[in-house]
Chains A and B, each alone.
Chain A
Amino acid sequence: MQRIGVFVCHCGTNIAATVDVKRVAETLLKEPGVVHAEDYQYMCSEAGQKLIGDAIKEKQLTGIVVCSCSPRMHENTFRKAAERYGINPYLVEIANIREQCSWIHKDKEEATEKAIILGRAAVAKVMLNAPLQAGTSPVTKRALVIGGGIAGIQTALDIADAGFEVDIVERTPSIGGRMSQLDKTFPTLDCAACILTPKMVEANAHEKITLFTWSEVEKVGGFVGDFKVDIRKKARYVDMDKCTGCGECQAKCPNKKTPNEFNRGLNNRSAIYTPFAQAIPNVPVIDKNACTYLKTGKCGVCAKICKAGAINYEAQDEIITREYGAIVVATGFDTIKLDKFNEYGYNTNKDVITSLELERLMNAAGPTGGHVVRPSNGEDPKTIVFVQCVGSRDTTCRGKTYCSKICCMYTAKQAMLLKDHYPWLDIHVFYIDVRTPGKNFDEFYRRAVEEYDVDYIKGQVGKVSEAENGRLLVQASDLLDNRQIKMEADLVVLATAIEPNEGVRRIASMLTASIDTNDFLTEAHAKLRPVESPTAGIFLSGVCQGPKDIPETVAQAGAAASKVIGLLSKDHLVTNPCTAKCNQVYCNGCSNCEKVCPYGAISYDEQMVIRFGARETTRVATVNTALCQGCGACTVACPSGAMDLQGFSNRQILAEVDAICR
């Protein structure tokens, strides 16, 4: 005979203001099998958990129902409590009377009625719960970091410093990422190269870190603690061991007509190239789409002049398979394409540039050696207009609904640096709101206004066109003075919205990590688990999770590393026992379950089965419980009812439905 205890949480006023918690407890006490029911202000607190413990002892409870918040929030809390007080953790059920009841209803009478029904369903289910034992699986003590920008580098360094091996997979020829393209960084104006390149060197030299540049993740299998990943090392055509990095090949390459990606197309590069002088590794790659030899078999200049004999035109892509305990996504961002914003003239006028292009123009190692000029004619600008929120905070199909977060600060930075170099410049910034939350951030922005005389105008730009004298004509509004401005400028800088890097969807689907409507990776909990994906063993670092600046990225990178270290420190992981199970007596070998299983956890083989007293050898399904994530897809697909999910059996679910309909 079952002895069930029901515990109803007030969650402060979150539940109690809309649900009559006392009545819920009193009513559920009358349910068959329930021998104890009580309510308490915060059931998840120490005192609340002790109430459960005391009741387990006094009433010899065999099952527990907690009517509280979502199981995503506290199921684990209450399972651990139950275990501590001596009963199997899988004999605890949660009735979600907060997210699914009090938060979405206004009428107390109706909400109370619904809370009772949800509690009754949970009671019906827990009556059929069986104690389950979690298994264990081993942990491969190596981490994979996807993306070699500041987020990936910092995460890798922190993990490696704790003594674990880390591989960084970077799809471009060098690590360094977006930060390596920047000039100086807010709010303290350190030069990006001065603080980033030492970290790049450190990552390269670290004995625990292996870099796979010019490489991409091809396939991901396995599960937390035991991932198997195929990495495609794209053909570099340059032998990493032989190349001395002298740069002669790049200087002599006759084909220099490819837009330089690193300089955002502001100049061209050779077909054999390293993206920038401080690249790590300092070994060039040959762009097979640009190289004359690889396309036509004629040329071969680089091979002829390379004293080290490092050029190998026969090189092929290589796939290597590695095992990992944890994977960190650090794929970063790009600026959005501006094809839908032609009123700003980005595609038709060379003097309209993005902020990232301005970074390259301002950078001493950039295409103009740090001299900011009008790209159209190489002349010095006199008036520069900055336009904020280009594509950000835009709910039409043209842009992104979110605030890109970094633009207000980098615009203030760029304006001040420009004024430092060229004090005669006339600089205007058109803004909607200036958003500068962060330590020393608002002070930084105000310095631009109060000390550098940067002209901040509350209003937006409607159109940028070519003036009749060849300069730019900016038509804008000044909302505070209530006037329309028609102003000539030499350079217009668009604070272009940022978005997750191209290819993040592919990575996310390989990892079965969820992404939001903007393609940012979703965290397991917005507040309490911000660096973990809901998929076990997948961690998030940097802008792939949401817009953030360098200080925040580095902080998050460290947080992700600490989570990885925590995972890799364990020898074994406890596995979820709520896995699928095949009753082979009923299995007809149809393969439906195998086809729908997203984890490859189901296989078929010939087995001896006793059916209705007769032995027969037949093809039946078997579940690999180490791979099974308990999603339940197979139980739905199974036509004969052979597949069942432990902890969520068909009987239990029907009992819940019956209880609700009663």
Chain B
Amino acid sequence: MTAPSDTSPAASLRHALLIHREQALTQLYRRAFPSVSRHVLRHGGSAEDAQDVFQDALVVFYEQAVGETLTLTAAPSTYLMGISRNLWRHELRRRARLPHEALPDDPGPLAAEAAPETEETSFAVLDYVERLGVRCKSLLLAFYYFQQPLTQIAADHDYRSVRSATVQKFKCLERLRESVRAVFRAETIEY
């Protein structure tokens, strides 16, 4: 994949996350985590809380960056610090209300996006994704979540062409749909 035509910081960051995800995430982690960790430890959290909050913030950041909804007016580490502070404040409030419950597995603001009635089905789909097999799972996540370009997906997964990768992607999606069809049917009958 060639360099982005848009040279804004957000576009460069998006490009780095799409092409060299591990390297770009490691760099962000190294730059931003120490400040976030200090903040969480100074405000009543543990090392584990700091890790959880920062990783939730990175998930939000990643989705905004690759989804092209990120407008960077400061350094990425400053932006990550801002998201982490908000998430930690939110978590402290949640703990004050429910003192005996642990930090949820999924970041609150993200989980809240799904309507309650579809959330259960989404979790059912999640189980079937895990059972798909390494190759199909990797192909589907690369395209639908990590939003990698099909040229890169074809190269990474050893497909001869973008067309072959596209056909395989739809075959994997079809397999997933067949697996979860029973869940949807059961839900429809309940309605």
Are both chains from one complex? Answer: no
Q: A residues engaging B (CB < 8 A)?
A: none
